Amino acid sequence: MRSAILLAGLLAGAALADSNLPPAPLANTQLPNPAQEAQARALMESLRCLVCQGQSIADSDAEMAGDMRALVRQRIQAGEAPESVRAFLVSRYGDWVSFTPPVGGAGWPLWIAPIALLLAGVWLLRGRFKGHRR
């Protein structure tokens, strides 16, 4: 009985994750200026969806990604440079919102970790193969 109540609660929470509000005006509508839309699209493809985490805001169907797409298009349409829009979103959500975090500062572990893990794997394999020769 408890598991059924827990399951119902989890399903209800997932069903209510998005609101019933209509999407933001520019969330799913392209800008009339093709050059501005190209700039906005390139920027949206380089920004991570904070809900999906593995998708860009250009590819995500999450409500928050739609809000972020609308924000990007509004600012690009107003004449703001894409790097300025990126800087605003990074200041608001942190470096993690970008698929290409900066190398310096707090972003260096993200660049060093894969190399360190690869070296650790090679070191462990070397030890295993050394033990089999004896």
pLDDT > 60? residue 16: no
Residue environment code for 44-72, b if the CB has 16+ CB neighbours within 10 A, otherwise e:
bebbbbbbeeeebbbebebbebbebbbbb
pTM assigned to the model: 0.64
- From residue 100, give the alpha-carbon distance in Å to each of 24, 110, 119: 26, 10, 23
pLDDT of residue 112: 84
Indicate the pLDDT class of residue 28, thresholds 50, 70 and 90.
Answer: confident
pLDDT of residue 1: 67
Indicate the pLDDT class of residue 131, thresholds 50, 70 and 90.
Answer: low
